[in-house]
Amino acid sequence: MLTTNVKLKKGEYSSILRRVSYAMFVRKGKRFLKKESGVNALKQLILIKNKDKEKAADTLAKAFMNDPLSCWFFEDEETRYSYLLDYFNFRVSYGMRYGEVYATSYRYEGIAIWLPGEKAEVTNWRGMRSGGMKLYNKISSDIMTQFNQVGHYTTEFRNNLIQPPYYQLSPIGVKPEFQGKGFGSKLLKPMLERFDEEEITCFLETQTESNLPIYEKLGFKIIKEGKIPKANLSHWGMIRKPK
């Protein structure tokens, strides 16, 4: 075994250990639960599997019916739910393959998708592996152009603010009839407790200003505000450091 007598500066050793620990339980882009930490908190949630995918997508589609970006992508309110259902089927599939997807219960009041930072960008290959062709075949070329414009913007926006290792909330949604009743916090707090124990930073993006104080109460801080081109929508990036 090769050895070294290089002395690390104060703080570097713990930083290296955190990065090695993070890498050890990221396998093929999917991060497995650490047995010794965070498990008790996560028992409060339901880990989404293939049998749950349709119901999880339904929850997110209903949660995002009036979302600013959803309304820009899918202007026709009568067909919006159908498009969003296909879109979130894809997002849930992507989250299951490359990250972790949780529900509040088997009533699926709320859904949260978490992605490791190195898988936050939906490349063509990752998209195809997650069923992206079905979505591509349904939507128009104009909407696909909008998807690509937003994707390029958010990727550059995110990469200028944070680099792996981190985890991204992408996204979280609660059915309208359950909003304002604590289900969002129920989804987030167990995962944030786990990240605190594992010393992992979290990142999220939102286009809804009313969400900002909710995330701030959970420890997220606004790092940057931008504007999504063409859509002319405000776009906030928020980071939460482990406590």
Which string of DSSP letters, residue by residue, matches 75-108? --HHHHHHHHHHHHHHHHHHHHHHSEEEESSTT-
The CATH number of the domain holding residue 157 is: 3.40.630.30
Report the C-alpha gap between 188 and 172 in whole angstroms.
9
Burial class (CB in 10 A: 0-12, 13-18, 19+), 198: buried
pTM, entire model? 0.84
pLDDT band, residue 6 (cuts 50/70/90): very low
Q: What distance in Å separates the CA atoms of residue 17 and residue 149, rounded to the nearest whole number?
A: 37
Q: Is residue 120 part of a domain?
A: yes
* Within-domain flag for 22: no
- CA–CA distance, 89 with 85 (Å, rounded to integer): 6
Asked if residue 118 belongs to a domain, the reply is: yes
User: How confident is the model over 76-121, as pLDDT tens digits?
Assistant: 999 999 999 999 999 999 999 999 999 999 999 999 999 999 999 9
Max Cα-Cα span within the chain: 67
Q: What is the DSSP letter of 38?
A: S
Let me know if residue 148 belongs to a domain: yes
Cα 148 from Cα 106, distance rounded (Å): 34
**Mean pLDDT computed over every residue of the chain:** 87
Q: Does residue 137 lie in a domain region?
A: yes
Q: Specify if 7 maps to a domain.
A: no
With the C-alpha atoms ordered 131, 132, 133, 139, is the resulting torsion angle positive or negative? positive
Residue 222, pLDDT > 50, answer yes
Structural domain total, the chain? 1
Q: With respect to residue 65, please indicate whether it lies within any of the assigned structural domains.
A: yes
Tell whether 19 is covered by a domain: no
The parent domain of residue 163 ranges over 36-240
pLDDT of residue 236: 98
pLDDT of residue 191: 96
